Amino acid sequence: MDVRASGAKAGDPRAPGARPPAAPPRERADGPPQPAPRPDDLPDGLVVADETGRVTCFNAAAARITDTPADRALGRPLERALPLEDLEGRRWWALTDPYGGPVTRVAQPERNLLLPGGREVLVSARYVRERPTAPVRRVVVSLRSTETRRRTERSHAELIATVAHELRSPLTSVKGFTATLLAKWDRFTDDQKRLMLETVDADANRVTRLIAELLDISRIDSGRLEVRRQPVDVTAAVRRHVQAHTAAGQCPERFVIRVREPLPPLWADPDKIDQVLGNLLENAVRHGEGTVTIEVAPAPPPRGGERAAGSAQAGDTAARAERTAVTVSDEGPGIPEESMGRVFTRFWRGSKRGGTGLGLYIVKGIIEAHGGTISVGRAPGGGARFRFTLPVGAPAGLA
């Protein structure tokens, strides 16, 4: 049969036996196809050995972790390119025998091993087979430095040591005073009893605050810090904290409150904002000197047109633009320039006047959980200047 007689042309998909034309390559909506990641792009060390046990891939991270150039490792037997020992000094590859071991094995779980020189490294391996129980075609090894884990362990150890130290003092005081009162109650006057009980109450409050700080740190580190937004009068909150300090014996003239009206409506967690203000004011009073100035004012929007969290409506430009800024500054010695980057880290202490070194770390976590920012600098009077901003407007569900 002549296909041309039926109107079909050469190459026409209607022609018998003709292949349909290949579909044009599809482009991604967001631009041209991106190149596949290379082994050197990976943050962890990657070592691959073929079915003969010779290394075919040794990425940049593996070279850095093992201190072995890639060109010295490629093509060498795996056990020589990556000489590993367990913590008891046994050669790891001879012990595990990846190519001659049980055919049901598919991987080695991550564990601590030693490189030459005694350096520790976290190693895991996977055995690639074409089908279950088939011979191993590739051994893929992942290497991770232990330095990150060591830093985490050191941080946890410091936290435990700090907590133990901070708890020991108030608990010793509580135990001492209560034991004394129980043993010699009739020997003390009413004024003496009141003083002891007030001391016990203050130390119990100190323990409660420390436990609350630990819970906050746990929630911040795990990303579980909850923020329950309500309308907050931040000016009234500032005045309340200043009154608490003056009632505790501070001179009223030491505090100056400046408010620039009108302030946009602020929706935030009132308890956590109280915690932030209390911490910053206590920091200024304890570690600073001279006048403590608290300023409350509207703030410009963040750079780049970023929309403030919790703005009222998409069309409400003013609500998107406005933020509330609170600045707390003193006239003390201030913070050394080289310490500015560590102020909001755990255990940073600006002086030897007590404190756990956890307060400013928690303050930063609370502000960021609200979608705000916090910074530290030098005040005009030479002291420390802390400034935080919070997005304003009702949450979307209440707008």
Place of tokens 């008891």: 88
Cα 359 to its chain centre, rounded Å, is 16
Percentage of residues in the chain having pLDDT higher than 70: 81
**Cβ atoms 98, 125 nearer than 8 A:** yes
Between CA 272 and CA 74 the distance in angstroms is 56
**Cβ atoms 357, 347 nearer than 8 A:** yes
Between CA 61 and CA 142 the distance in angstroms is 10
Between CA 314 and CA 325 the distance in angstroms is 22
The pLDDT of residue 396: 57
**Is the pLDDT confidence value at 399 over 80?**
no
The pLDDT of residue 14: 45
**Cβ atoms 166, 210 nearer than 8 A:** yes
**Cβ atoms 223, 196 nearer than 8 A:** no
**Is the pLDDT confidence value at 301 over 50?**
yes
What the block records as the tokens of 45 is: 């060390």
Please report, for residues 198, 204, 326, the alpha-carbon distance to residue 193 in angstroms, rounded to integers and kept in the order given: 9, 16, 42
**Mean of all residue pLDDT scores within the chain:** 82
Confidence of residue 303 (pLDDT cuts 50, 70, 90): low
Count the neighbouring beta carbons within 10 Å of the beta carbon of residue 201: 11
**Is the pLDDT confidence value at 21 over 70?**
no
Between CA 158 and CA 353 the distance in angstroms is 19
For 308-353, the pLDDT digits (tens) are 333 333 334 344 447 899 999 999 888 888 888 888 887 676 655 5
**Is the pLDDT confidence value at 129 over 70?**
yes
